[in-house]
Structure 1
Amino acid sequence: MIEKRISSMLLFAIVAASNLMAQPVLETGGKKMPNEWIDKETGHKVIKLIRKEGNFASFYFHNNPFIPGKNGEGDRMVFYGNDQYKGDGNGNFLYTVNLKDFSVKQLTFGKQRKTGEILAVKQHKIYFQSRDTIYAVNADTQKTEVVYVFPEDFKGNITTINADETLLAGAKSTEEEKEIYKNNPEKKDYFNKIYEAKLPRTLFTIDIKNKQLNKIFTDSAWLNHIQFSPSNPKLLMFCHEGPWHKVDRIWTIDIDTKNVQLIHKRTMNMEIAGHEWFDKRGNIIWFDLQMPRGEKFFVAGVDLQTKKEKRYELDRNEWSVHYTSSNDAKLFAGDGGDENAVAKAPNGKWIYLFKPEGDRFVSEKLVDMKHHKYKFEPNVHFSPDQKWVIFRANFEGSEQIYAVEIQKHKK
């Protein structure tokens, strides 16, 4: 009896010790990290999603990357990566990772760079562009097909797909604008030049079934950040790009009626609004609002039915390069920012969770990002089960994709 009791105690000790070894409490970054650890500054569990060598990048913050799993299968996340040739994690290959068992499937091959980040959830297809050709790859079969080839006189770029997955949309720029990019490759050099040039841009759609391109709107402004509503297949959001304090940035257009609406009008000198996104239900357009720039910080949202605007204030250190919202908009997340960003935050390098309370956000720090270089933007996403915040980072020295558990680790 005593031997049996000792044996049980020994087994419990071994299991407990192995659990501690599997989830060490560590400073995040500055060295090679294990696949799982507890961030010593926040107490939250962090895991590496891509468990292979290479450089990898999750999608931009407003582009949905998730394919829901069925019949016990794990949800899948689509991402870009590079594990075969030298280069960064943006653009060479498309993959999926199963969020249940971390299995990775490569979908595309060949060195040619790809752009798009456009997932058709119902079709299980990822649309992307390489040079003048649009392709679709099936996430289940890996079969790739040519969808559309731009004509010689209209070389556009796609960025989004509509809610019923029948239309792609994007913008066409002028040759003059492309020349400014070519001669000024750094954002600090081209950004003001393109804005000041006032060159025309054209929004367009492509009917996927009929292979038909339709020009829907042209303006002598830098039309950018183009996103279809996740619920209204006819509603397209776009921005007037440029220095945010000089533009009324956020707009929508009905692609049938061509009715254009301004979503947020600036009301003071140096006010800025940007990095806009639709909530998951398509009811609200959210955005970073500063009144004025670099002094007072909000996340604001405009209800598309009532046109009413709500604002949640946050502190300087809580300001984030990008924000996102959960499926029910009861939680928000932000990816923080370094001291060189617009907020000039002395202690802003964190992945944050935000909960609205009254007219403010109450924040919780999820991941210490002090070893991350913010030129590689973290771009937060809530996982499909709403239990994790997924982000990308370079705090190990390479570009990798991680998830942090929202529920704090129990000691």
Structure 2
Amino acid sequence: MRNYLTAALLGAAAVLPTLGARAQAHLETGGQQPMPAAEWVDQATGHKVQRLTPLDGGNGSFYFHNNPFLKTVAGQDEMVFYHTDEQGQQLRLLNLQTRQVRPLTGYYKRIVGEIVGRRSHEVYYQVENQVYAINADTRKNRKVYAFPSDFPGSISTLNADETLLAGSLGGAEAREIFKKYPAKSDFFNRIYDAKVQHILFTINTKTGKREEIYQENTWLGHVQFSPTDPDLLMYCHEGPWGKVDRIWHISIKTHATKLMHQRTVDGEIAGHEFFSPDGKTIWFDLQQPRSVTFYLAGAPVAGGPERRYQLQRNEWSIHYNISPDQTLFAGDGGDPGQVAKATDGQWIYLFRPAGDQFQAEKLVSMAHHGYKLEPNVHFSPDGKWVIFRANFEGKEQVYAVEIAKAAS
């Protein structure tokens, strides 16, 4: 591990306007590279946009269902993010109140994992076969586990009481397909068609004991623990969504599995599932059939009828998310090459439930963003901002858009 960056190195770049500061100008988002300031009002929507990360390299936020937030000992909100520059990659922390950036890990060639323990303030990450936990308050780093050469797994989620990590591993044939065909368009159907054995496993965060809890000769992935029930693990059957009953959960104690959504329409697809903050609902993109009618649907974990909110084609999003108080939703839109084939879908959206529909509001124009980088929306912990990543300034950076309209 290389030495940490000093606070002095980061200080000049980290001093940005606070979340309460007024925007200086109404501008076309991404109309200039870089934008002339770190804060502006999107001229197409009237909402304030702020760049949260300094322009000192590439900076990326977490995948949409992975929590990046924790509370400091002083009660402030921090966000963990990825930073990449000529030295390599590291995890950093951004204080959402003071806007100060500080390094969390040292530099590595590549980091994966991105798991934040809200209770312990330990951030779990993986470098090659080594799994570490670093404390966000003390920066004490500890080794949790080393995957053996015959089990090259990777971690993806932490349970609610922070006693177990979990992940999935495909067999040797699946790993060879990934190696030979690195592009998703090339490996996706091959992995599905191969019907290779996949394993779900857990790792004890204190003892490092690994347990294999489930296996099946199909592609398993998108592994997520419930945010409230430490015994409940969600996973999916990966592959072409129209061919799989995708969304499942399993009990860590009993290993009993349950299908969460049964397809009923020819050509129906469901996926990009995520838990509600209270753990009572699994939300997912539902299309009945594919590319025709669009919903965000919620399946109760305890069973019962689903809730469905219909969207228009242009409002469909690659990923959705839900606010901390569960009253609002957000989406990251999509370009015409996505499944919805939307002609005007390149927006960060806010969705307000209204009966069985969503009332959509455009927050940020993403016309200058390249959607090969998925924006992956998150609500800020106070529910007042939608945080996303984008490349409309050239390199990947992390931004926030205020839900309230900017003062004119």
Normalization by structure 2: what TM-score? 0.93
* Higher Cα radius of gyration: 1
> SS where residue 135 of structure 1 aligns?
strand
Q: Which one of 216, 219, 223 corresponds to residue 220 of structure 2?
A: 223
Q: Which one of 259, 266, 269 corresponds to residue 266 of structure 2?
A: 269
Contact 1:30/1:397, CA 8 A, preserved across alignment: no
Contact 2:77/2:96, CA 8 A, preserved across alignment: yes
**Alignment-derived partner of residue 28 in structure 2:** 27
**Alignment-derived partner of residue 157 in structure 1:** 154
The CA deviation at 1:171 is 0.8
**Whole-Å Cα distance in 1 between the matches of residues 377 and 119 of structure 2?**
23
Letter in 2 for 1:261: K
**Alignment-derived partner of residue 13 in structure 1:** none
**1:82-134 superposed Cα distances (whole Å, 9 cap, x missing partner):** 13437xxxxx2100000011111111123321100111111111101111110
**1:365-393 superposed Cα distances (whole Å, 9 cap, x missing partner):** 00000000000010000000000000000
Contact 1:283/1:305, CA 8 A, preserved across alignment: yes
**Whole-Å Cα distance in 2 between the matches of residues 157 and 286 of structure 1?**
25
**Alignment-derived partner of residue 7 in structure 1:** none
The CA deviation at 1:74 is 2.7
> SS where residue 187 of structure 2 aligns?
helix
**Whole-Å Cα distance in 2 between the matches of residues 58 and 280 of structure 1?**
19
Unmatched tracts of structure 2, length 5 or more: 1-20
**Alignment-derived partner of residue 376 in structure 2:** 379
**Alignment-derived partner of residue 348 in structure 1:** 345
**Alignment-derived partner of residue 77 in structure 1:** 79
> SS where residue 404 of structure 2 aligns?
coil
Aligned counterparts, 1:11-410, within 5 A: 22-31=23-32, 32-33=34-35, 34-71=37-74, 73-85=75-87, 92-410=89-407
The CA deviation at 1:70 is 4.5
**Whole-Å Cα distance in 2 between the matches of residues 295 and 282 of structure 1?**
30
Contact 1:224/1:238, CA 8 A, preserved across alignment: yes
Structure 1 residues 366 and 382: CA distance shift in structure 2, 3 A: same
**Whole-Å Cα distance in 1 between the matches of residues 150 and 394 of structure 2?**
43
**Whole-Å Cα distance in 1 between the matches of residues 308 and 287 of structure 2?**
11
Alignment identity in percent? 55
**Whole-Å Cα distance in 2 between the matches of residues 263 and 305 of structure 1?**
10
**1:328-387 superposed Cα distances (whole Å, 9 cap, x missing partner):** 221000000000000000000000000000000000000000000000010000000000
**Whole-Å Cα distance in 2 between the matches of residues 393 and 152 of structure 1?**
36
**Whole-Å Cα distance in 1 between the matches of residues 309 and 272 of structure 2?**
16
Contact 2:324/2:382, CA 8 A, preserved across alignment: no
**Whole-Å Cα distance in 2 between the matches of residues 149 and 85 of structure 1?**
24
**Whole-Å Cα distance in 1 between the matches of residues 255 and 325 of structure 2?**
30
> SS where residue 181 of structure 1 aligns?
helix
**1:223-252 superposed Cα distances (whole Å, 9 cap, x missing partner):** 000000000000000000000011000000
> SS where residue 245 of structure 1 aligns?
helix
Normalization by structure 1: what TM-score? 0.92
Greater displacement, 344-353 / 141-150: 141-150
Letter in 2 for 1:223: L
Letter in 2 for 1:184: Y
Total equivalences in the alignment: 386
> SS where residue 406 of structure 1 aligns?
strand
**Alignment-derived partner of residue 15 in structure 2:** none
